[in-house]
Chains A and B, each alone.
Chain A
Amino acid sequence: MSLTRREFLKWSGTAGAAAAAMCLGFDLRPVSSYAADLKILKAKETTTICPYCAVGCGLIVHTKKSGKLLNAEGDPDHPINEGALCAKGAALYQMTVNKNRMKNPLYRAPESDEWEEIEWDEAIEKIAKRIKETRDATFTEKNAKGQMVNRTTGIAHVGSAALDNEECWLLQGIMRAMGLVYIEHQARI
Chain B
Amino acid sequence: MTNHWIDIRNSDCILIMGSNAAENHPISMKWVEKAMDKGATLINVDPRFTRTSSKADIYTALRSGTDIPFLAGMMNYILSNNKFHKEYAANYTNASFIVGSKFDFKDGLFTGYDPKKKKYDKSQWAFEKDGNGVPKRDLSLKDPRCVFQLMKKHYSRYTPKTVSAITGTPEADLKKVWETYAETGAVDKTGTIMYAMGWTQHTVGVQNIRMMAMIQLMLGNMGRAGGGVNALRGESNVQGSTDHCLLFHIIPGYMATPSTKLPTLADYLKRRAKSNDPLSANWWQNEPKYMVSFLKSMFGEAATADNDFGYDWMPKLDAGANYSWLTIFDEMYKGNFKGFFAWGQNPACSGANSNKTRQALGKLDWMVNVNIFDNETASFWKGPGMKPDEIKTEVFFLPCYTSVEKEGSITNSGRWMQWRYAASKPPRGCKSDGDIMVELFEKVREMYETDGKFPEPIKNMRWDFVKDGKFDANSVAKLVNGYFEKDATVKGKSFKKGTLVPSFAYLLTDGSTSSGNWLYCNSYTEKGNMAARRGKKDPTGMGLYPEWSWCWPVNRRIIYNRASVDLNGKPWSPDKNILEYKDGKWVGDVPDGGWPPMTNKEKTKRPFIMKPDGVGSVFGPGRADGPFPEHYEPLECPVPKNLMSSQRINPVAPVYGTEADAHLSCDPRFPFVGTTYRVTEHWQTGILTRWQPWLLELQPQLFVEMSIELGKLKGINNGDMCKVSSARGEVEAVAIVTGRFKPFKVQGTTVHQIGLPWCFGWIYPKDGGDSANLLTASTGDPNTRIPETKAFMVNVEKLGKRRA
Q: Is B396 an interface residue (CB 8 A)?
A: yes
Cα–Cα, bound, A55→B341 (Å): 28
Taking the closest CB of chain B, its distance from the CB of A102, in whole angstroms, is 4
A161-B452 contact given A80-B5, A174-B437, CB 8 Å threshold: no
The reply to whether B251 and A84 contact each other, CB–CB distance below 8 Å, is no
Contacts of A89 in B (CB 8 A): 27
Contacts of A182 in B (CB 8 A): 248, 323, 327-328, 331, 337
Cα–Cα, bound, A57→B444 (Å): 38
Cα–Cα, bound, A59→B682 (Å): 19
Query: Which residue of A115, A150, A158 contacts B397 across the interface (Cβ within 8 Å)?
Result: A115
Taking the closest CB of chain B, its distance from the CB of A72, in whole angstroms, is 7
A101-B373 contact given A53-B235, A80-B27, A96-B402, CB 8 Å threshold: yes
The reply to whether A127 and B453 contact each other, CB–CB distance below 8 Å, is no
- On chain B, the number of residues with a Cβ less than 8 Å from chain A's Cβ atoms is 163
The reply to whether B238 and A158 contact each other, CB–CB distance below 8 Å, is no
The reply to whether B454 and A150 contact each other, CB–CB distance below 8 Å, is yes
Chief secondary structure at chain A's binding surface: mixed
The reply to whether B341 and A158 contact each other, CB–CB distance below 8 Å, is yes
The reply to whether B786 and A92 contact each other, CB–CB distance below 8 Å, is no
Taking the closest CB of chain A, its distance from the CB of B3, in whole angstroms, is 13
Binds A, one of B173-181, B345-353, B630-638: B345-353
Cα–Cα, bound, A41→B247 (Å): 46
Q: Is A184 an interface residue (CB 8 A)?
A: yes
Q: Is A136 an interface residue (CB 8 A)?
A: yes
Q: Is B318 an interface residue (CB 8 A)?
A: yes
The reply to whether B25 and A55 contact each other, CB–CB distance below 8 Å, is yes
Contacts of B347 in A (CB 8 A): 158
The reply to whether B681 and A55 contact each other, CB–CB distance below 8 Å, is no
Taking the closest CB of chain A, its distance from the CB of B547, in whole angstroms, is 10
Query: Which residue of B350, B390, B392, B516 contacts A169 across the interface (Cβ within 8 Å)?
Result: B516
Binds A, one of B151-159, B684-692, B705-713: B684-692
Cα–Cα, bound, A88→B368 (Å): 28
Contacts of B105 in A (CB 8 A): none
A160-B405 contact given A53-B233, A88-B683, CB 8 Å threshold: no
- Residues 84-106 of chain A, each 1 if its beta carbon lies under 8 Å from chain B, else 0: 11111101101110101111111
Q: Is B476 an interface residue (CB 8 A)?
A: yes
Cα–Cα, bound, A81→B516 (Å): 31
Taking the closest CB of chain B, its distance from the CB of A25, in whole angstroms, is 33
Q: Is B372 an interface residue (CB 8 A)?
A: yes
- Of all chain B residues, the one with the shortest Cβ separation from A94 is B692
Taking the closest CB of chain A, its distance from the CB of B197, in whole angstroms, is 9
Taking the closest CB of chain A, its distance from the CB of B548, in whole angstroms, is 6
List 8 contacting pairs A-B, 8 Å CB cutoff, sorted by A: A86-B680, A87-B695, A105-B397, A107-B394, A127-B396, A166-B480, A168-B244, A181-B257
Interface residues of A (CB under 8 A from B): 44, 46-58, 61, 63, 66-69, 72, 77, 79-82, 84-89, 91-92, 94-96, 98, 100-113, 115, 118, 120, 123-132, 134-139, 141, 143, 145, 147-189
- Counting from the closest, the 5 A-B pairs by CB-CB distance are A67-B425, A56-B412, A164-B408, A160-B344, A159-B343
Besides A51-B688, A158-B340, 5 new A-B residue pairs in contact (Cβ under 8 A), listed by A number: A53-B232, A53-B236, A82-B30, A159-B370, A160-B344
